[in-house]
Amino acid sequence: MAKRPPKSAADFIPPRPTLKTAREASKGCRGCDLWKLGTQTVFGEGPRGATLMLIGEQPGDAEDLSGHPFVGPAGKLLDRALADAGIDRASVYVTNAVKHFKWEPRGKRRIHKKPRASEIGACRPWLDTEIALVKPRVIVCLGATAAQALLGSAFKVTQHRGAVVPSPLAARVMATVHPSSILRAPDDEARREEMRRFTDDLRAAARALSSE
């Protein structure tokens, strides 16, 4: 008997999608097994004509419960950095490489678990749909998962953060650290320094936007 082709989100994308119909359809996605673990699909949010798109890894605990991207501790930090960089979050399209929260229990808490390459690949059609519909001029990958999904598995955020990389996805693509990594800084001084560098990267993205 012929084997069923590997599943992905592609099977769930509506014909001639709009952001609205895609978001609605994503609620029923079974493109990989992560839907069983998460409370709900967390689709991207922001204006259709956003010129800047930020891509994280996957929703966290707060995002899983609320259904909105970057609303938990990492999201609060992102909001602060965007404000410091002079970027209005309401003008930005914010999304994730993977749309369900992958976690494992630790006591009563749900601890973030890194998505597999196969899960990132399975979810990619949603991200490609968002990029095709929003058509951002600048994309910023937040952390290694988004960066490697968009820029290739050899991409190292530590070496190439803040650099504008050629890509067919948008006029300018760059990667920086994930805001969660700043929350994990060992002390206040390191956290302040990491926050400063992160804000500088976002500022460079805003500059790339105005020079485009």
Kindly report the number of other CB atoms within 10 A of residue 50's CB atom. Answer: 20
Half-sphere exposure of 173 (CA within 13 A, CB side): 19
Angstrom distance (rounded) from CA 51 to CA 140: 11
Q: Which stretch binds ligand SF4 (CB under 6 A): 33-41, 59-67, 171-179, 197-205?
A: 33-41
Residue 103 engages ligand SF4 in binding (rule: CB under 6 A) = no
Half-sphere exposure of 133 (CA within 13 A, CB side): 21
| 22, 14 contact by CB (below 8 A) | yes
Residue 196 engages ligand SF4 in binding (rule: CB under 6 A) = no
* Residue 100 binds which entry of ligand URA, ligand SF4, none, CB below 5-8 Å type-dependent: ligand SF4
* Residue 155 binds which entry of ligand SF4, ligand URA, none, CB below 5-8 Å type-dependent: none
Residue 120 engages ligand SF4 in binding (rule: CB under 6 A) = no
Between the alpha carbon of residue 191 and those of residues 111, 121, 146, 195, the distances in Å are 22, 32, 22, 6
Residue 63 engages ligand URA in binding (rule: CB under 6 A) = yes
For ligand URA, the binding residues (CB under 6 A) are 56-60, 63, 69-70, 72, 74-75, 96, 180
For ligand SF4, the binding residues (CB under 6 A) are 9, 26, 29-32, 34-35, 41, 98-100, 119, 122-123, 126
